[in-house]
Structure 1
Amino acid sequence: MFNSAQKRTPPQVYVTPRYRTTQSEYQSSNSERLFEKSKDNSMNQLKILQQIGYGKFSKVMLSMFNGEKFALKIINKSCTMKTQTTSLLQREMQIMKQLNHPNIVKLYKEFSDDKNVYLLLEYCNQGSLFNQKFDQTQIKQIIKEVLLALKYLHSQGIMHRDIKPENIYLHNNHVKLGDFGIAQYIKKKSKSFCGTLDYMAPEVIRQNYYDNRIDIWSVGILTYELNNLQPPIKDRDQQIQMRRIISEEVQYPRHFDDKLKNFIQKCLKKRCEERATIDELLNDEFLHS
């Protein structure tokens, strides 16, 4: 089983929200009335149990429907319109509807009422990787399954753009990659400054055109953080942190062995064309030792 870890400071967030696991303080006494005006009559039978997460314009509720548990993401329409992020929400739904992979959170249904958009999602019974600690065997399994999810995602012409512990969930000890709020189609050139700074590739910070290789960079950061409980480059001053990510080489703790360091180094090449491919990483000796 996966073991709980002590709390740590969450990553700095630019576009994407922090995710928090189930806590009783988020229970809502009015939650069961959310669907009285739903346009989808079948969803009126959905029972809301408690809040298990939140975002900048959304919250995530543990729900029951036909005897099964689901995660219900509720997005406020007026907030997305005010911040001109409606197109991002539409793209998130479009992308999730086309995905079908055992290591990716599944979208079962989307519907709306006058105030909100609702996404009925696969429920992951062990929450996110955030604030959890894992041994080496578990970390290798997690990274392998994240890579398998990304290999499928990239084959569908999509880059995630926000790989981090808060967006990776566990269900029955298996990875489920989620939160596609800023995912983008690879064929569309992008140089948007978005994501979580701790996990941003240098080309994103520079606002150069980039592609799905930014996800490979994030896998390297993720591997480092799972083994050390903090990202490799961190600074209270965000401008200094950005300069360090662009120019500074990663320093490794003494407890990192050579196979682990070599794996991370293959991901954290400043020049994106020098980064390892997903297949190369899946065959790397670190994951098979």
Structure 2
Amino acid sequence: MFKFSVHEYPTGRYQWFIKEKAKDLILGRINAEIREWCRMNMVENINVELKAILQESFSTFHSEMEEGRKELSEFEISLDKRYSFDKCTRDRNFLDDFEDTVLSWPILPIAFPLSFVITAVLSPLLIPLVIKDVIDKLDRHGYNENKQEQMQKWCLEFLKEYNQQSIQKLIEETYLDDFITRVKHLTDYVIPKRIEADEKYIHHIIEDLRNSSLISRQYRPLENRCMFILGMIMLLDMDLEFSGFKHSDEYIGTHNTADTEIGRGAFSDVYSTEILIANKHKKAAVKTFRQPLEGNEESYIQLAEVHNLRRFCHTNIVELYGISYKFDKEGTKYLQIFMELCDYSLDDIIFNDANRSWKPCCMFENLEECQEAFNFFITILLDICRGLLYIHNKGFVHRDLKLSNILIKDGRVKIADMGVAKEVSYILGTLTGTLTTIAPEVYRGKLYGTEADIYSLGIIMWEMWYCEAAYSTMEYNYLNMHEFADCIKEGKRPTFNTSFAPPSELKNMIETCWSPNPSVRPSAENVFVELSSLVRL
């Protein structure tokens, strides 16, 4: 690269002139070599390739945003008919703001500095800007005696400047400074403004005078779409978390023995099986969903249980072993959840004489005669409270606490079916649960919290005492859901109408748990303390 002919060596009367000519000559050769290397390796296509990668990465989110824009714009129109928004809210399209924030701000700092670096490499005018003056003091007499030796010395000094440090400095002074400035603008200005706008938006929604069913119908398509997107994100997260568990031959492997069905739910079938975890055989329950995992809005419902169980680790909550996928002949993917195998559900024990050796407490005349049943009653309820207290302390509400979702293993409680459990801050008043254990505030469509689980616990305590399903009497048999909900909202509760009702302390606690006023209900910890005191009765 630095083989110069005799006539190329710079000459002149002035030292500065020789130095400048030598610098131009050397940089010209370096630039020519770099441009040829870039041409051979098609470096000029980097921008096109990066743009294609970014477009592909963001295309899914962009299309989802477009659908959300459409649905949100319809919602805004209906609100504008009723309310007069302030100028800030009226003049801004928040989804447009958000899209600009997501797509423009993070991408521009990437696209601009990269193109700048490439331009700096290809342009002979920009390279000298990052190269310091490496030509030392010129001895014109020595230079004239051996021009070739001096030029080679200068060439080597220039090449030393083309190293990792100089390139890193260029990136830091262009890309990082600009990137940090943009991120700071995003965090200090754009995001706070969006939060402020969202708070105003939510304030208008809260003050909306429309009935809940109309609002629910309007929100439902958008909510379903959000759940679908959230399901895709959760699936990606779980693919990373349980990547090993998906390979049945490596971590979770079912044996050739036929699996035994142990239950059927609204969305899934549950079988007992034997699995291999860390070279140890272990009995397990496997829940297989009937709907495909991908491509439907129910994927969020399926994945929610796994998502929740991953966050819980407690003696009184069923343990998650891992997940797997089952494929049909067409290659459709179905989610399988491998969990701790239990002996019975509390539903099996309470409502099936064959699974218990004792009579219900209500069939005796005093506590001395029903010690076995009463001890079981207290032991199980204390375990339920332990598990429930753990869930509530995590900031969650179970939302479907009932006998069939309380499993028994070796005489200890395992709370199951965490699929509908949700963090208190994310509860929107959606009707969720089983008719007979749903709290009145849930039927009313109000925002609710852990108190809804305590209401369900009160119903469970009544059912355990009488070994009878709540609201199973004739007066409720022919009611539809709305009529039944009206009864609950009016204060109807199961009655204590047998010869031996629960002791007054227990009866009062049950009635407090299912109080129509959530603020009156005790916490899971308070119920635990009260039940512990009953052990001495």
TM bracket, shorter-chain basis? 0.7 to 0.9
Instruction: Give the stretch that moved more between structures: 237-246 or 194-203.
Output: 237-246
List alignment gaps of at least 5 residues for structure 1: 1-37
User: How far apart, in 2, do the equivalents of 1:288 and 1:90 lie?
Assistant: 43
CA shift, 1:81, in A, is 5.3
1:41 matched to 2:254? The reply is no
**What is the identity, as a one-letter code, of the residue corresponding to 2:342?**
C
Question: Which residue of the other structure, out of 69, 85, 96, is the alignment partner of 2:298?
Answer: 85
Secondary structure, aligned partner of 1:89: helix
Aligned to 1:189: 427
State the shift of 1:188 in Å. 1.1
Equivalent position of 2:202 in the other structure: none
SS in 2 for 1:131: helix
- CA pair 192-174 structure 1, distance change in 2 beyond 3 A: same
**Deviation digits for residues 19-48 of structure 1, max 9, x if unmatched?**
xxxxxxxxxxxxxxxxxxx65432573125
Q: Which amino acid aligns with 2:290?
A: N
Alpha carbons 1:161, 1:214 under 8 Å: kept: yes
Asked if structure 2 preserves the Cα contact closer than 8 Å seen for 1:57 and 1:79, the reply is: no
Provide closer, same or farther for how the CA distance between residues 58 and 212 of structure 1 changes in structure 2, counting only shifts above 3 A: same
> Which residue in the other structure is 2:262 paired with?
52
What aligned pairs does 1:153-164 form with structure 2 within 5 A after superposition?
Answer: 153-164=391-402
Deviates more, 1:227-236 or 1:206-215: 227-236
What SS is found at the alignment partner of 1:100?
coil
Matching residue of 1:273: 519
CA distance in 1, matches of 2:274, 2:424: 35
Q: For this pair of structures, how many residues does the alignment match?
A: 250
Distance 1:138 1:81, change over 3 A: farther
Using CA pairs below 8 Å that are at least 6 residues apart, which structure has the higher relative contact order? Answer: 1
Is residue 331 of structure 2 the alignment partner of residue 117 of structure 1? no
- Corresponding residue to 1:132 among 349, 352, 360: 349
Supply the distance in 1 between the matched residues of 2:303 and 2:348 (Cα, whole angstroms): 30
237, 240, 245: which one aligns with 2:488: 245
Pairwise CA distance, 1:156? 1.2
Alignment of 1:69 onto 2:283: yes
Q: Is the 8 A contact 2:252 2:275 kept in 1?
A: no
CA contact (8 A) 1:224 1:232 kept: yes
Counterpart in 2 of 1:230? Answer: 468
Distance 1:275 1:90, change over 3 A: same
**d(CA) in 2 for partners of 1:80, 1:288:** 54
Tell me: CA distance 1:192–1:142, structure 2 relative to 1, closer, same or farther (3 Å): same
Q: Deviations over 1:202-254 (max 9, x none)?
A: 01111111111100000000000111123443512133221111113432123
- 3-state SS of 1:187 partner: helix
- Give the whole-Å Cα distance in 2 for the aligned partners of 1:246 and 1:75: 34
The letter for the 1-side match of 2:496 is: Y
SS at match of 2:386: helix
2:262–2:270 Cα contact (<8 Å) kept: yes
Pairwise mapping of residues 136-155 of structure 1 onto structure 2 (< 5 A)? 136-155=374-393
Give me the CA root mean square deviation: 2.0
Whose Rg is larger? 2
Q: Which residue of 2 aligns with 1:20?
A: none
In structure 1, C-alpha distance between the alignment counterparts of 2:420 and 2:397, rounded to whole Å: 9
Residue by residue over 1:176-198, the C-alpha shift from the partner in whole angstroms, topping out at 9 and shown as x without a partner, is 10011211111213211111000
When structure 1 is superposed on structure 2, of 173-182 and 253-262 the one drifting more is 253-262
Instruction: Please give the alpha-carbon distance, in whole angstroms, between the structure 1 residues aligned to 2:337 and 2:324.
Output: 7
Tell me the residue number matched to 1:175. 413
SS of residue matched to 2:426: coil
Pick closer, same or farther for the CA change 1:183–1:231 going to 2, 3 Å. Answer: same
Q: 1:242 to 1:286 in 2, by over 3 A?
A: farther
Q: Percent identity?
A: 24
In the alignment, the residues of structure 2 paired with residue 139 and residue 213 of structure 1 have an alpha-carbon distance, to the nearest angstrom, of 22
Q: 2 CA distance for matches of 1:98 and 1:54?
A: 25
Task: For 1:216 and 1:44, locate their aligned partners in 2 and report how far apart those are by CA, in whole Å.
Answer: 37
State the TM-score, normalizing by the size of structure 1. 0.80
Q: CA deviation at 1:276?
A: 0.7
Preserved CA contact (<8 Å) 1:61 1:71: yes
In 2, the alpha carbon distance for the partners of 1:287 and 1:196 equals: 30
Instruction: Please give the alpha-carbon distance, in whole angstroms, between the structure 2 residues aligned to 1:212 and 1:80.
Output: 32
Q: Using a 3 Å threshold, how does the CA distance of structure 1 residues 44 and 264 change in structure 2: closer, same or farther?
A: closer
- Quote the Cα distance in structure 2 between the aligned partners of 1:217 and 1:61: 31
**Would you say the 8 A contact 2:512–2:521 is kept in 1?**
yes
* Partner deviation per Cα, 1:88-125 (whole Å, 9 max, x = no partner): 22221111011110111000111224431111100112
CA distance in 2, matches of 1:287, 1:79: 47
Q: Could you tell me how far apart the structure 2 residues matched to 1:136 and 1:169 are?
A: 19
